[in-house]
Amino acid sequence: MNERIERLRTECVATRPSVSGERAELLTRFERENESVKESAPVHRARGFRYILENETLYIGDDELIVGERGPRPRAASTYPELCCHSLDDLRVLSTRRKTPFLVDEATTALYESTIIPFWEGKSLRERVFAAMSADWHAAFDAGVFTEFMEQRAPGHAILDDKIYRHGFLDFKARIASARERFRTSDVPDRAARVDELDAMDIACDALIRLAERYAALARRMAGEAKTPGRRAELLEIADICSWVPARAPRTFREALQMYWFVHLGVVTELNEWDSYNPGRLDVNLYPFYRSDVDEGRLTRDGAKELLECFWVKFSNQPAPPKVGVTEEQSATYNDFTLINIGGVTPDGADAVNELSYLVLDVIEEMRLPYTGSCVQLSKKSPDRFLLRTLEVVRKGFGQPSIFNTDAIVQEFLRVGKSLRDARAGGPSGCVEISAFGKESCILTGYMNWPKILELALHDGVDPKSGRRIGPSTGDPRTFDSFDQVFSAFEKQLRHFVDVKIEGNGRIERLFAEHMPAPFISVLVDDCIEKGQDYNGAGPRYKSTYIQGVGMGTTTDSLSAIREHVYVRKSLSMDRLLRVLAADFAGHDAERNLILHETPFFGNDDDRADDIARRIFDAYFDAIDGRPNTKGGAHRVNLLPTTVHVFFGEKVGATPNGRRAGIPLSDGISPTQGADTHGPTAVIRSVGKIDHVRTGGTLLNQRFLPDVLKDEEGLRKVAAIVRTYFRYDGHHIQFNVVDSATLRRAQESPEEFRDLIVRVAGYSDYFHALDRALQEEVIARTAHSQA
């Protein structure tokens, strides 16, 4: 990287995240001044959005070529009191907690005390959400049976397609005007609401154009004061670009990047989409600009790389908005889950890998920025050299990029009725979850703790931790004569909690649709404009609601232990097993060893265990898939954990697979840490027995020792592992290439390993930034070496 990028990167990495109260202050002022105005919710929200963009502090850094920050400076995170109004205590916790702390200065605390809290207390959506939930929901939530994504964050996962590279916001305004005219004169019963929504979208478009004009003016002013002629010219070019985009469609590679970045700022300022907006298929969308700029002599390869690297820094300058409580536990990271896609196929089905794909891989490798997430889509049409180059980057050992199976993803989309073209243009976002880019609201609503549900099934619906009944009575397991009865109790508990969760989801969806319309993002998601409906309502072409299953390995192994020892060998009675679990195996080494050594475990290509995994997946799928949400879409399943497998582990007592109380659960669909003893091909065979095509994403972590990938031969062998997994329709695979000794040393001397980055679960993070339990969990994952 050149010196400019070096400086920008250093500033980004060295700046500690801070809380900025500016957005909260501006929104509060807007609300105060407009309390008496009678207007629709979308128009009101759009005007508030415009007020923020018209008045917020602008920032152009000394070396920047791509400009704009969400907060007043890099690494400053905005807050969203309309969703979650942080208390003074929250601010204190944020500034003092050991992991993911935020600087909170005295002025911000004073602002919260004098202005933000008095206005928003009792009005935030978080408070409405908790008030609207049933007693059953609260009981399950408190016990750690499931989490709730929407309790302090807004629905995310609206990834951008190619529309902003072909149209400017003036074009969108024209489309909005024509839709408005159509509805104004139609006899659609709710036409007034649709006209309101379109008016709101129009205001939101103006707001973004206004922000860019302000940036253009600032750049011109700064150019006048620039210290060097070179910087003066750069600032004038920035001013010219900001005067053109986003009002009009971009004409060059650089304009395209700046266009995207303004759109990004708009989306993440409107609401705190927990899965930060991202550009999706970057190489495919930018390639035409790159090609014509290079061919016509406006841009060199190095120039394009520098611009991309400026762009990379921008994402990492935006820490995820501060989270508290369970939401922080389930997602303890600054990572805002940007996932830039490269590779895959074109909407026509051709291989989409191009020159820019390789350039982006160079950028990923050079930047080593974990919070600018990236992934490769690999289709059967992608050349091997693309995969091998990807693995060369993976081998650097910072967990990026992750690798996705385009052919499986297309099948997953087609199964739920998406068009072939929309399917091919889509991909993964966040961790591993898929959506039709630019056309879908794909809402993840919470994690479901399968091992906890099994624990409840083994205690007749009573939580052994609290002694409270929180699930239905499914019988005393000591009376069960067969494994099928155990499984049936598990399934009944599972269905109960799915029902509770889905009922809660419906209420929360309505709260967002009513109180938190998002007119800006609605402009960008088909077919919100055509329908005059909001992104948080029925606007998007596709509307999916997900509940993420967690603990495949732990649950499978636990059920396998019960089957093997209680029913097949009869080496342990159910009564004895329950007593051993209640004692957390204390004084029961013999029983624990028997279980650990004599149980078929998931991840070893052993059908006795893998059949149970399949059965659990089917039960979960049958309980959820296709059940309607309130927006005209349906519920779907996916299997991923972020960091919740650590939090959920704390909520579950000893489990029948020999796991002691409080220890993390297995992550994603990966085997229980250390239970897979037959190497990566057996792991892949086991997880390949699950039908990934019926999910919206699964997550498989594999750790290899660096030795395996040390040469071309090793790269090719790991490439064969990836390709074979994908022949089994595997959805996603990611690698940590690091040995345990290095991780141990990094625990002992974190200062010497500030730059050590590991794959956690669908995203990367600095090892030193992880909680100790999560560090231990990463180390415990089986490391594959050579046989």
Interface with other proteins by CB under 8 A: which residues? Answer: 589-590, 593-594, 597, 605, 678-682, 685, 708, 713-714, 716-717, 720-721, 723-724, 727-728, 784, 786-787
> In Å, how far are 145, 451, 578 from 454, measured between CA atoms?
10, 5, 12
Q: In the complex with other proteins, which residue's Cβ is closer, 48 or 603?
A: 603
Q: Which residue has the tokens 């060369």?
A: 392
Asked if 242 is an active-site residue, the reply is no
Q: In the complex with other proteins, which residue's Cβ is closer, 484 or 712?
A: 712
CA distance 673 to 246: 48
Asked if 255 is an active-site residue, the reply is no
CA distance 390 to 287: 19
CA distance 376 to 370: 15
CA distance 291 to 283: 11
Q: How far is the CB of 562 from other proteins (least distance, A)?
A: 19
Q: In the complex with other proteins, which residue's Cβ is closer, 483 or 728?
A: 728
Q: How far is the CB of 670 from other proteins (least distance, A)?
A: 16
Q: In the complex with other proteins, which residue's Cβ is closer, 288 or 679?
A: 679
CA distance 616 to 79: 39
Among 56, 64, 328, 433, the one annotated catalytic = 433
Do the bridges between strand 634-638 and strand 783-784 make them parallel or antiparallel, or are there none, so unpaired? unpaired
Helix ranges, 278-383 (H): 282-295, 301-316, 325-330, 355-367
Cβ atoms of 398 and 368 within 8 Å: the answer is: yes
CA distance 147 to 719: 36
Q: Which residue has the tokens 């938190």?
A: 516
Could you tell me the two tokens for 506? 């419906």
Q: Which residue has the tokens 């250390």?
A: 674
Q: How far is the CB of 377 from other proteins (least distance, A)?
A: 19
Q: How far is the CB of 566 from other proteins (least distance, A)?
A: 18
Residue type, 446: G
CB neighbour burial string for 132-160, b if at least 16 within 10 angstroms, e if fewer:
ebeebbebbbebbbbbbbbbbbbbbbbbb
Q: In the complex with other proteins, which residue's Cβ is closer, 539 or 730?
A: 730
Q: How far is the CB of 678 from other proteins (least distance, A)?
A: 6
Q: In the complex with other proteins, which residue's Cβ is closer, 468 or 710?
A: 710
Q: How far is the CB of 714 from other proteins (least distance, A)?
A: 7
Q: How many CB atoms lie within 10 A of CB 223?
A: 17
Q: In the complex with other proteins, which residue's Cβ is closer, 84 or 719?
A: 719
Q: In the complex with other proteins, which residue's Cβ is closer, 180 or 685?
A: 685
The verdict on whether omega for the bond into residue 628 sits within 30 degrees of 0, i.e. cis, is no
CB neighbour burial string for 564-599, b if at least 16 within 10 angstroms, e if fewer:
bbbbeeeebebeebbebbeeebeebeebbebbbeeb
Angle formed by the axes of helices 644-651 and 450-457, to 10°?
20
Residue 320, C-beta contacts closer than 8 angstroms, at least 6 positions apart: 77, 274, 276, 331, 333, 334, 335, 336, 337
Q: In the complex with other proteins, which residue's Cβ is closer, 38 or 597?
A: 597
Q: In the complex with other proteins, which residue's Cβ is closer, 431 or 718?
A: 718
Strands (E), 290-432: 340-343, 374-378, 402-405, 427-429
CA distance 553 to 658: 12
Q: What angle do CA 706, 707, 711 make, to 5 degrees?
A: 100
DSSP letter, residue 516: -
Residue 702 bridge partners (DSSP): 735
Q: How far is the CB of 664 from other proteins (least distance, A)?
A: 24
Q: How far is the CB of 583 from other proteins (least distance, A)?
A: 17
Q: How far is the CB of 564 from other proteins (least distance, A)?
A: 16
Q: How far is the CB of 380 from other proteins (least distance, A)?
A: 11
Among 85, 310, 431, 528, the one annotated catalytic = 431
* Residues identified as active-site: 431, 433
